[in-house]
Amino acid sequence: MLTRRRRRAAGIAAAAVLALGLFSHQPPGVPAATGAPPAAMARVLGYARAQEGCPYVWGGTGPCEAGYDCSGLAMQAYASAGITIPRTSQAQWAAGPRVTRPQPGDLVFFAGGDGTPAAPGHVGIVTGSHLMIDAYATGFSIQQQSFGLASSWPGQQVVVGFTAPWEGP
């Protein structure tokens, strides 16, 4: 029953994302010459949303019962759309490409354990302005939450940057 609900929620989320047309890094009104097909980003977001409520497990790459860590969730969400990205947040950050105007489906990165942006230690999937889905830490389930705000959870107030893996290197 839970699986059916998750699939339905993912389908509804994908349809909403497609209907809103949220996937252009181009200025409004300018057609994009390249970029992720809206269906691919809808699948990334749909997959991530369908995992809400699943447990955080360090090193986890799913499925839900086994849990996810932040980079495992991002990797599997992109894999659901047929896009291969590296396994760890540091490698995902290094793979880029970097963007300054994030769109839903892009990845947002936060400082690593050393407190610097040199090797980001946490990643989330952007769902909207200052919103993301991520696997935060042990004891927390996957959920949508804020980032880049003073009210965001510890470690998620200061953003290192964003990447759009679907654009390729």
Q: Which residue has the tokens 């269906």?
A: 39
- Is 55 a member of any domain? yes
From CA 154, how far away is CA 140, in angstroms rounded?
13
- Is 30 a member of any domain? no
Q: Please check the confidence at residue 2 and state whether its pLDDT lies above 70.
A: no
In a 10 Å sphere around its CB, with 0-12 CB exposed, 13-18 middle and 19+ buried, how is residue 146 labelled? middle
From CA 111, how far away is CA 25, in angstroms rounded?
24
- Is 29 a member of any domain? no
Residue 148 structural domain? 2-23+36-167
8-12, 38-42, 145-149: least confident range: 8-12
- Is 14 a member of any domain? yes
Q: What CATH number has the domain bearing residue 116?
A: 3.90.1720.10
Q: In sequence order, what are the residues at sequence separation of 6 or more whose Cβ sits closer than 8 angstroms to the Cβ of residue 128?
A: 104
- The whole-number pLDDT of residue 94 equals 92
- Is 31 a member of any domain? no
* Region 66-74 average pLDDT: 98
- The whole-number pLDDT of residue 59 equals 96
Q: Domain count of the chain? A: 1
- Is 28 a member of any domain? no
92-108 confidence digits (pLDDT tens): 999 999 999 999 999 99
Bridge partners of 125? 107, 133
Bridge partners of 68? 56, 61
- Is 114 a member of any domain? yes
From CA 37, how far away is CA 14, in angstroms rounded?
12
Q: Which two tokens stand for residue 131?
A: 């919103």
- For the whole prediction, is pTM greater than 0.85? no
- The whole-number pLDDT of residue 23 equals 39
108-160 confidence digits (pLDDT tens): 999 877 667 777 899 999 999 999 999 999 999 999 999 999 999 988 999 99
Q: Please check the confidence at residue 21 and state whether its pLDDT lies above 50.
A: no
The pair phi, psi for residue 127, each rounded to 5°, is -115, -15
- Is 8 a member of any domain? yes
- The whole-number pLDDT of residue 36 equals 55
Give the dihedral of Cα atoms 63, 21, 147, 132; nearest 10 deg.
-10
